[in-house]
Homo-oligomer: A and B are copies of this chain.
Amino acid sequence: MADYDVFELGDVVLQSGMTLRDAKLVYTTYGSLNRRRDNAILFPTFYGGQHMQNEPMIGAGMALDPAAYFIIVPNMFGNGLSSSPSNTPPPYDRARFPPVTLYDNVMCQHRLVTEQFGVERLALVTGFSMGAQQTFHWGALFPDMVERILPWCGSAKTSRHNFVFLEGVKTALTADDAWRGGWYDTPPTKGLRALARVYSGWVVSQAFYREQSYLQLGAASLEDFLVMQEGRRLNSDANNLLAMLWSWQQGDISANPLYNGDFEKALGAISAKAIVMPSQTDLYFPPEDNEWEVRHMPHAEFRPIPSIWGHMAGSPGVNPVDTAFIDSALKELLVS
C-alpha cells in the first residue's frame, strides 16, 4: 500500500560525471490535472524530509488545495525514497552513491512533469529549505515554464557560512567510528545523535531558546527537546543524510552550463512572479542573503516571516502561526 508512485528515469548522467543507473524518482500527487493542464504546482521536499512531511501545507482551504490544484511532490534524491545510498544496488550503493546536485534533481523533475504528465507550464513552484533551493533552480532553469515561485527559508545559492555550518553537521556524524566511511552494517547512532545535537543549535534561533518555545512542541525541558531532535535523526540513514548534505553544500542556480557560474545572470533570468520568504531569525539561511538575491530578480518581493523560530519557522506545520503566514502568501501569489 505505497502512497507514492515511481517514475523510472533509466540511466541518468550527473553533473559529477557519474551515472545514476536505473534511477528512480519517487513522487506523489494531490488533486487532479485539469483539461488545460494549467493547474499544476510542484512542491519539492526538504533536507531529511519525504513527501509526507510536505503534507501539512496541502489541504482543503489552504493555498495548496487539491480541489483546485494538481500538486506534485517529487522526493529529492538521497531522501530514502527516490534513488538514495540506502536503496541503490551495488556497485552504486552506500558510500559509492554518486554525488547528485540540485540541478540534477531539477532536470529529472522536469522529465517527470513533462513526460509523465505532459505539463508545459507550472502555476507555481514552491518549497521549504532545500525545497526552496530547488524552487529557485526551477525559476532559473525553466523561466518560460514557471509562472510563480515561492521559496521559503532557502537561498538560490548556498552561502559560505551555510556551507561551514554543514561541515560541522557532517563532521559530527563522521567522527563516529561506527560510520566506517559509509560502510556500516549497523547505524552509527552516536554520530547521528551528535549530528542532531549540532543541528539543534542552528535550526532555531537564540530567541527560541530564550523564550523556551520548545515547550510548545511537547518537550518538557531543554534536554528533553534535544533528545526529541536526536530521535528525528535516528530514523535516518547516515549515507542518505550525507548525500543530501553534499547536494545542499553545492547548491547554486548558476553552477550549470546555462549560466556558467554567473549568479547575477541566473537570478536575473527568473521571470516568474516571486515572493521570497526567509525567516527573520534563520541562522543559516539568513534574510540578508535573500534580500540580495531579490534585488537581482526582476519580479520578486522580499517578505520575511516575522518569527523567532529560526529556520524551523518554515518547517511545514510545525508552528501554526508561521505556517499560516506562509500559506497566506501562497494564496496571494496564486491569485496574482
Chain A residues within 8 Å of B, Cβ to Cβ: 159-161, 163-165, 167-169, 171-178, 190-191, 193-194, 197-202, 205-210, 212, 222, 226, 283-284, 286, 288-289
CA of A164 to CA of B176 in the docked complex: distance in angstroms? 20
CA of A47 to CA of B197 in the docked complex: distance in angstroms? 21
CB-CB under 8 A from A202, the residues of chain B are 201
- By Cβ-Cβ distance, the 9 closest A-B pairs, closest first, are A168-B198, A160-B209, A161-B209, A172-B172, A175-B194, A175-B175, A171-B194, A161-B206, A177-B177
CB-CB under 8 A from A286, the residues of chain B are 206
Closest residue of chain B to A310, judged by CB?
A: B161
- Given A160-B210, A161-B210, A210-B159: A226 and B175 within 8 A (CB)? no
Which residue in B160, B172, B174, B222 is a CB contact (below 8 Å) of A198?
B172
CA of A201 to CA of B249 in the docked complex: distance in angstroms? 14
CA of A107 to CA of B146 in the docked complex: distance in angstroms? 66
CA of A212 to CA of B164 in the docked complex: distance in angstroms? 12
Closest residue of chain B to A166, judged by CB?
A: B201
- 23 A-B pairs within 8 Å (CB atoms) are namely A159-B210, A160-B209, A160-B210, A161-B201, A161-B205, A161-B206, A167-B197, A167-B200, A168-B197, A171-B193, A171-B194, A171-B198, A172-B194, A172-B198, A174-B194, A175-B175, A175-B194, A176-B176, A176-B177, A201-B202, A206-B288, A206-B289, A283-B283
